[in-house]
Amino acid sequence: MFGDFIGTDPPIRIDQWVSQHLSISRSEATKLIDNGDVTVNGCRVKSSRKVGTSDSLSVRRTVQQESPETPFNGLLLPTIIFDDTDIMVIEKPVGWTTHEVHAGQRGVFLTHWLVAQFPDVFSFESGLRPGIVHRLDQQTEGLMVIAKHRAALENLKDQFKNRSVIKGYYAAVKGNILSDELVIDQPIARASRGHKMVVSPTGKPAISVVTVLERYHSMTIVKVSPKSGRTHQIRVHMDFVGHPVLGDPLYGKSTQRYGQRLQAYFLEFSHPRSREVLQFEQPLSPRIKS
């Protein structure tokens, strides 16, 4: 990809612009800028320089991009399940981080793919999470709704905040759960150290309804309906009752390469414009049962 381009409104750092529009990492973008392959108004600049609509950007080196038919950095691409002028529903594969937490973070991000594939759509927000209403953990696959403009974003955020969105997950957990249904009503708080969440009396209320689908010798396939939206809720709750999600490197102490066997298979919400109730459901992923 090469040619002449116009900056964004509001202005953003040039390394962020190059990363988003050329679908490359921030470090690769910095190298192009430092080498003089990207200029602003005909001049070499530092990667921290912000560019706006009054700036003309020139890219003079062809950047090899992944085609939509091939994996992105070795990962399967997201699948678009539903798409209209207001929202997009996608199926996020395993391995994709939803968005950057801080600028320059390493990884393969869903937001980078969205901006690279649909730059005109997701230019309405220049931060680290354009269109993102909710998130899935990196090694959790499944359904996500994406907002395509600010009004839709705010409407969907309100629906999640008001707990009117219905979510469903499939999981493979360790051991056999004796009861056919289990209600886990335990508050969750952030651990004093590290990135873990824990069950704690000082935490925020969290309820997960677990339904057994199939039992095997050393694992159980379950359906989980979270009635709240705490970080790592299903992973924390299942570990608390002695049935951690298989493959979970954080709570199940697993060293498996492909992460926790957890799938967001069901999503129900109201369309932000028409108010029609939309339901999306995916079949059990082979990865969960394997």
At 117, which helix (H) or strand (E)? helix 110-117
Catalytic residues: 137
The rounded distance, in Å, linking the Cα atoms of 62 and 67 is: 14
pLDDT digits (tens, 9 = 90+) for 202-236: 999 999 999 999 999 899 999 999 999 999 999 99
Looking at residue 206, its pLDDT comes to 97
pLDDT at 246: 95
Query: Could you check whether 79-164+269-289 and 166-265 share the same CATH topology?
Result: yes
Q: Name the band, by pLDDT with cuts 50, 70 and 90, for residue 150.
A: very high
Q: Does domain 3-59 have CATH number 3.10.290.10?
A: yes
pLDDT of residue 64: 43
pLDDT band at 186 (very low <50, low <70, confident <90, very high): very high
User: Which whole number is the average pLDDT over 122-140?
Assistant: 83
Task: Using the predicted structure, report yes or no on whether residue 174 has a pLDDT greater than 50.
Answer: yes
Phi first, then psi: give them for residue 160, nearest 5 degrees.
-65, -40
pTM above 0.85, yes or no: no
pLDDT band for position 17 (50/70/90)? confident
Say if residue 273's pLDDT is above 90.
Answer: yes
For 243, phi and psi rounded to 5 degrees?
-130, 70
Architecture of domain 166-265: 2-Layer Sandwich (3.30)
Q: Which fold does the domain 79-164+269-289 belong to in CATH?
A: Pseudouridine synthase (3.30.2350)
User: What pLDDT does residue 66 have?
Assistant: 41
Q: Where are the domains of the chain?
A: 3-59, 79-164+269-289, 166-265
pLDDT at 73: 64
| Residue 122 DSSP label | G
pLDDT the model gives residue 129: 82
Query: Which residue carries 């992460």 as its tokens?
Result: 259
Burial (CB count within 10 angstroms: exposed 0-12, middle 13-18, buried 19+), residue 35? exposed
What per-residue confidence (pLDDT) applies to 219?
Answer: 95
* Identity at 123, one-letter amino acid code: S
Check whether 80 has a pLDDT greater than 80. Answer: yes
C-beta separation of 252 from 196 below 8 A: no
Q: What is the mean pLDDT of the chain?
A: 86
Q: Are strands 262-270 and 277-281 parallel, antiparallel or unpaired?
A: antiparallel
29-62 pLDDT, tens digit each: 788 888 887 888 888 888 888 988 888 877 765 4
Average pLDDT over residues 173-193: 95
Lowest-pLDDT range, 55-64, 73-82, 145-154, 187-196? 55-64
Residue 28 has pLDDT above 80, yes or no: no
Residue 71 pLDDT > 50: no
